């Protein structure tokens, strides 16, 4: 460390985080809830989640951060800035995982934020604005819905009381489980944020496919999810001639093809997925009388989502009539498309350029805490590649060099927004 240099000089483009320390932290946290296949199962508000939170809080405190917890269990570690009147520049994500999750989804964004703080501490660099590292409660939504619960409450998307009253399959509430694990905090939620950056693995194949190291995330796709119920008539597969059938699965199959056709017609940002289907009675020699399936449409614009829905409704009517079945379509989830803050996105782009990482603009296909935080603060995200685009899977993997590159970009983007004190 050069005590004589100004912070600004020390914080110049040569400044890098400690790639090994970041990797070790990721691997250490991944021990809590580690699965045999190398993944992590650390479901929100379980004992393992408590252990993970306790570990991160110890690390925060060891790095000199002032830790506070709000009423929905979001954890904030604050590093003072020169100007205590400025709203903090925040890095964050989540540490809860899918039931068969990986080491990087969420955890990377939290520990990258911590690594930024550790790096600044090591170099004796003070920022003008305070910095914070945030850990949002229950991003995954696998035990309690809605997903992105902590950031949703923080951003006022839904009320705290609603979130606290949500129950898991055993009837336990979020509020009780927060108290049980010691993370029902008393700090205020929804406090001002000067800027928010979230580093995350891409969870898709685009960066890998295009050979880029950094995704400059300009926003997130809007989502419309539907439940579809096709009702025909059970019939014995042998004695029932083809022409007299009312086959719910044949109709559903045609609609699966339509969902994909509609999404292909909205390239590059349109997505259409049927991921869930239940056939009744589901017996090999019975023409199915009922099929339920889910449609997940995503698009960068509301107009695109609306066009996809119109096309789906038309397909349901056409296929229903042709197959002599009824098709009921119900929207169950809507997330509007999100555009991140132009200045924050520019800070990410400038960081990637200054560090000479191959980068591209990308739109997040998945929801993230950043999408909710973006409703109340200037926000952007940084994507790094993950192997094969695979996520929500124990074999989720990412290269240390890519994770370090994303963390370096985070560091420089945060410094650009927070300002370096002389």
The footprint of a second copy (CB under 8 A) covers 202-206, 209, 221, 223, 225, 233-244, 247, 249-250, 252-254, 256-257, 260, 263-264, 267-268, 270-279, 281-288, 294, 296, 298, 364-367, 388-393
Quote the least distance from Cβ 152 to a second copy, whole Å. 17
Angle at alpha carbon of residue 124, lines to 120 and 126, rounded to 5°: 70
Q: Residue 127 carries which DSSP code?
A: B
Give the span between the Cα atoms of 331 and 387, in whole angstroms.
33
Task: Between 263 and 348, name the residue whose CB sits nearer to a second copy.
Answer: 263
Q: Residue 231 carries which DSSP code?
A: E
Quote the least distance from Cβ 282 to a second copy, whole Å. 5
Give the span between the Cα atoms of 38 and 7, in whole angstroms.
40
Quote the least distance from Cβ 146 to a second copy, whole Å. 13
Quote the least distance from Cβ 7 to a second copy, whole Å. 37
3-state helix, strand, coil in the chain (%, to 5): 35, 25, 40
Give the span between the Cα atoms of 186 and 76, in whole angstroms.
12
* Contacts of 114 by beta carbon, 8 Å cutoff, 6+ apart: 25, 56, 59, 60, 63, 77, 133
Task: Between 229 and 234, name the residue whose CB sits nearer to a second copy.
Answer: 234
DSSP bridge pairs for 333: 225
Quote the least distance from Cβ 73 to a second copy, whole Å. 24
Quote the least distance from Cβ 102 to a second copy, whole Å. 11
Helices (H), 215-295: 248-264
Task: Between 365 and 400, name the residue whose CB sits nearer to a second copy.
Answer: 365
Question: How far from each other are the two terminal CA atoms of the chain, in whole angstroms?
Answer: 15
CB atoms within 10 A of CB 68: 16
Look up residue 217 and give its two tokens.
Answer: 């995330």
Task: Between 163 and 252, name the residue whose CB sits nearer to a second copy.
Answer: 252
Task: Between 51 and 100, name the residue whose CB sits nearer to a second copy.
Answer: 100
Task: Between 189 and 203, name the residue whose CB sits nearer to a second copy.
Answer: 203
Quote the least distance from Cβ 244 to a second copy, whole Å. 5
Let me know if 14 is exposed, middle or buried by CB neighbors in 10 A (0-12, 13-18, 19+).
Answer: exposed
Task: Between 172 and 269, name the residue whose CB sits nearer to a second copy.
Answer: 269
What DSSP string describes 166-199? -B-TT--BHHHHHHHTT----BPSS---SEEEEE
Quote the least distance from Cβ 127 to a second copy, whole Å. 32
Task: Between 264 and 358, name the residue whose CB sits nearer to a second copy.
Answer: 264
């Amino acid at each position: 460390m050069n005590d004589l240099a100004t912070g600004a000089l020390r914080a110049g483009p040569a400044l890098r985080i400690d790639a090994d320390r970041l990797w070790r932290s990721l691997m250490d946290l991944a021990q809590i809830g580690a699965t045999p296949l190398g993944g992590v199962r650390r479901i929100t508000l379980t004992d393992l989640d408590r252990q993970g939170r306790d570990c991160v809080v110890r690390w925060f405190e060891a790095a000199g951060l002032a830790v506070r917890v709000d009423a929905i269990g979001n954890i904030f570690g604050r590093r003072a800035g020169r100007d205590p009147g400025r709203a903090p520049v925040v890095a964050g994500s989540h540490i809860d995982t899918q039931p068969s999750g990986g080491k990087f989804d969420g955890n990377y964004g939290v520990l990258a934020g911590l690594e930024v703080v550790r790096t600044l501490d090591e170099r004796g660099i003070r920022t003008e604005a305070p910095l914070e590292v945030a850990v949002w409660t229950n991003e995954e939504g696998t035990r309690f819905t809605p997903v992105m619960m902590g950031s949703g409450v923080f951003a006022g998307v839904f009320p705290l009381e609603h979130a606290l009253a949500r129950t898991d399959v055993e009837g336990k509430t979020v509020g009780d489980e927060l108290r049980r694990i010691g993370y029902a905090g008393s700090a205020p939620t929804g406090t001002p944020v000067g800027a928010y950056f979230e580093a995350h693995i891409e969870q898709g194949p685009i960066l890998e496919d295009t050979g880029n190291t950094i995704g400059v995330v300009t926003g997130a796709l809007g989502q419309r999810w539907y439940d579809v119920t096709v009702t025909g008539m059970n019939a014995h597969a042998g004695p029932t001639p083809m022409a007299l059938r009312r086959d719910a699965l044949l109709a559903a199959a045609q609609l699966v093809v339509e969902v994909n056709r509609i999404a292909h017609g909205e390239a590059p940002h349109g997505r259409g997925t049927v991921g869930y289907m239940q056939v009744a009675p589901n017996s090999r020699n019975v023409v199915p009388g009922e099929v339920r399936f889910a449609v997940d449409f995503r698009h960068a614009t509301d107009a695109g989502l609306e066009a996809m829905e119109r096309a789906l409704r038309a397909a349901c009517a056409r296929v229903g009539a042709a197959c002599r079945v009824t098709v009921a379509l119900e929207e169950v989830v809507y997330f509007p498309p999100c555009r991140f803050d132009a200045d924050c996105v520019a800070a990410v782009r400038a960081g990637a350029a200054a560090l000479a990482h191959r980068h591209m603009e990308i739109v997040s296909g998945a929801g993230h805490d950043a999408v909710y935080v973006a409703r109340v603060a200037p926000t952007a995200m940084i994507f790094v590649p993950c192997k094969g685009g695979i996520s929500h899977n124990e074999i989720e993997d990412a290269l240390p060099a890519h994770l370090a590159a994303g963390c370096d970009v985070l560091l420089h983007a945060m410094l650009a927004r927070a300002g370096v004190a002389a």
